[in-house]
């Protein structure tokens, strides 16, 4: 109950994952490293299929199978490195849940864009409500749906949807 606590800052995703794994007698394999690397190579949102497409297409010795990608994503979620933020086209959308400020999303139903905004205000309200119910809150997910700025004014330039391709 002491040295396991200081996992706060300056620990890389890789280290955090390694710690999570060793705690439960699991191994930081080459494949898990490859998934980790790909996932944390950018801050973009992604879904399983996109990641699988990238990792199974590799021709060098760095290919990772679909099954392993799926299994590793589960571990990354449990390790607190990833979280599901939304659903699009019947797929879960993932994002980093570590080393990145808490935020929520505005989701445009027209073009599918995700707009992030700081969760500060929301978190306060969530904390209050949880306390009032004796609920041990561990996190939240807020999706606001509607239509984004750009999609609101279509008769201008080209069609909004074309911007997504």
- Piece of 29-37, 99-107, 128-136, 143-151 that binds DNA (CB under 7 A): 29-37
Q: x/- binding map, residues 134-163, to a second copy, per CB under 8 A?
A: xxxxxxxxxxxxxxxx--x-----------
Q: Does 111 bind a second copy (CB under 8 A)?
A: no
Residues with Cβ within 8 Å of residue 38, at least 6 apart in sequence: 51, 54, 55
Which of the stretches 18-26, 69-77, 101-109, 155-163 binds a second copy when contact is defined by CB under 8 A? 101-109
> Smallest gap, in angstroms, from Cβ of residue 72 to DNA?
6
Closer CB to a second copy, residue 26 or residue 103?
Answer: 103
Check residue 68 for interaction with DNA (CB under 7 A). yes
Cβ closest to a second copy, residue 27 vs residue 88? 88
Q: What is the DSSP string of 31-66?
A: HHHHHHHHHTT----B-HHHHHHHHHH--STT---H
CA distance readout (Å), 143 to 56, 102, 103, 131, 157: 31, 13, 10, 22, 29
Give the binding-site size for a second copy (rule: CB under 8 A).
32
Distances (CA, A) of 118 to 89, 98, 104, 122, 124: 25, 15, 6, 9, 12
- Interface residue with DNA among 13, 16, 46, 72 (CB under 7 A) is 72
Counting residues that bind DNA (by CB under 7 A) gives 25
């Amino acid at each position: 109950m002491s040295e396991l606590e200081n996992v706060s800052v300056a620990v890389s995703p890789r280290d955090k994952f390694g710690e999570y794994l060793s705690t439960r007698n699991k191994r930081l394999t080459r494949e898990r490293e490859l998934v980790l690397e790909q996932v944390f190579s950018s801050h973009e949102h992604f879904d399983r299929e996109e990641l699988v497409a990238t990792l199974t297409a590799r021709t060098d010795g760095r290919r990772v199978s679909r099954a392993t990608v799926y299994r590793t994503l589960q571990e990354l979620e449990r390790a607190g490195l990833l979280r599901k933020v939304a659903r699009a086209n019947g797929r879960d959308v993932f994002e980093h849940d570590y080393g990145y400020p808490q935020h929520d999303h505005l989701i445009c139903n027209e073009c599918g864009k995700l707009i992030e905004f700081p969760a500060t205000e929301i978190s306060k309200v969530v904390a209050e409500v949880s306390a009032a119910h004796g609920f041990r809150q561990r996190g939240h997910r807020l999706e606001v749906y509607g239509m984004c700025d750009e999609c609101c004014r279509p008769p201008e330039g080209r069609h909004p949807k074309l911007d997504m391709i």
